Structure 1
Amino acid sequence: MNSSSPQQSAQEIRDVMTNVLRLAKNDHGRDFVVGDIHFKTIDLHKGLYALGFDKEVDRVIAVGDLIDRGPGVLDGLKLLGEPWFYTIQGNHEWMLIDAYRRDPSARYASHGAGWWSTIADESKPMIIERLESLPLAIEIETVKGLVGVVHADVPTGMAWSDFVGSLDNPQIAEIALWGRERIIKHYREGVKGVWRICVGHTWIPSPLRLGNVLALDCTGGGDGPLAIYCVKEDKIYVDGRPTSLDAVELVTDQLQKLEHTVANLSKTVHENKLIESQGLSLEAETLIKQARSTWLPLMAEISESQKFVNALHGVSLLTGDRKTAKFEELKARYAETQLGDLLNRLSSF
């Protein structure tokens, strides 16, 4: 990124030997880590707007795969010059770089890279050099500890410090760019030596927490939503709302605060402290409204998920043409949703 920007001055240290970018603690704003963007820049801007993103003090850190598939080519490339935007190299950047270095004149359009042929030949070397300069990992300093960002995975059982110190090893770099084992097998032991790890690459219907590892690629390079993790809040948002898992934690926290407030209210009423009682009563009312606003969408989402599971279970009990027909009916019912995307993927197996 532009080293002359006020946001990045004295805030980043690039370790060329291990290809790691280290970002100092953001004392004035928030840090947001986003899943695979794939040129879906409208979704990115909408998601950030919903969270009150302030480009003067906030930062965005992407897990790689900024390029390919989506429509926002020019806007996506422009992000590479924004002082508030950081990204790492994903496997899609690597594939484009590799193809170009092998033959700069080749017409490369694999894996959703048809956009590359629309770029003027004189601009291509500059773009390739910019993508080549991207690190394989980013470390973000926070009050709670380091947040690591890598495109795909960290080898199972390897501590974070060992991982970033070994990125010059081709086998480790390959896992950083292409690994899927942790998410596919749902390993929950996490990664030692770091507070949180954010990864993308492997598509999942909704963001997932595996120990201290947060899997954020729910776009799948298609019509899925973009997940945005707010480091300061330790919450993952989709479409401006906390994900189901984080919403459960949020409503639990709200209810605990409400319980504490009600206990204090009861005490002040008993002691005839009218002014304090009025203040606590208003606080309790606010907490009730907050918990309700968190719970109602979550309840609807849980109910819809249960209906989907029941319907899918019903399909699994059928055979032959009836099974095929019911599955197609289910796909039509959930078209244009995350669950519909999941069904389309299942039908290809």
Structure 2
Amino acid sequence: MQDMLLGFEKFKNISLSDPFFNSLKSDYGEFGDWFLKKGGHQAYTFRNAAGLLDGFLYLKPEDGPVLDSNPPLPSSRRLKIGTFKVNPHGTRLGERFIKRAFDVAVHEGVDALYVTIFAKHTALVELFYRYGFVQQAIKQTGNGRELVLERRLDRVFNDVVLDYPRIPVGAGRHFVLSLYPQWHSRLLPDSLLRTESSSILQDISHTNSIHKIYLAAMGGIEQLTRGDTLLIYRTADGGPAYYTSVATSLCVVEELTNVNNFATVERFLAYCAPYSIFSESELRSFYQSRRYPWVIRFTYNLAFHRRPNRKALVEQVGINPSIYWGFFQISTPQLKQILQLSGDYEKASSLVYSS
């Protein structure tokens, strides 16, 4: 089974002769020399079962203006996406790399991300546009004419996807959604517990994607609406829930729909399959039985550094221990307290905006 954790490797330990780099060498005459000069620098990588590269992402924080574009970009703290390439094979690996770029941008506290890219790479250009990148300039070199795309993190579109990974909290609608361990870590790969092996992850679309779909039947879910905050709670796994159930992640609802809204099983599969942990046979069964009528689509915005357990949620956050822990609402002060316990309050505060 393929390990889906991204690698973080020094350039000097990556073979420039890997066929993966052929297109980059073709696009950029200086690529080989540039690559060799980066020896001690590191890049995010994804390797296939044969050990060859299927993905490569190099990121570089920058301060100041971008002067080699027309027009120049004004002075700002940015994260430059220096090299971004994936071999497309239908698993949304590009979204996984985009998510990592956003994660690093938040960690570095930058105001924006930017990338230069040839327009001919249409799938990659469309991927950037989907997450709020906007063309700001042109870069002309001996290699040709590139688009300069920038995504500002200090501006708000008031849209769940265009604002990703920012989190709208203005409505004060925050809900806890519990997931069983066998579903949790396949769906949310950056939220693995330290005791879990990364071998449970696969190079498949629901693991890689920023977008997730989960089917449920718990009472109260029918009230969810676009922009609601979802705090993901991983249920107990072989130990007392008071100590081993933990809050792991913060997500945002894109859409709530019902299985009855799909006229045919084919339409249901087309909607769910790319982002759901459930197999096609399971989805077909769920469609026929209506066992899990609610279909939640959400974005995966923040994986917690520390995971507060139920003990902390009860004793420090003040959640009623006698409630049903499958799905329930919490207040904005409670959400903030959980973020403080997770060690991510400062990071999350930079992501929050009033919707």
Report the TM-score range of the alignment, normalised by the length of the smaller protein: under 0.3
User: Normalized against structure 1, the TM-score is what?
Assistant: 0.25
TM, length-normalised to structure 2 = 0.24
The structure that has the greater radius of gyration is 1
Q: Name the structure with the higher strand share.
A: 2
Greater per-residue helix proportion:
1
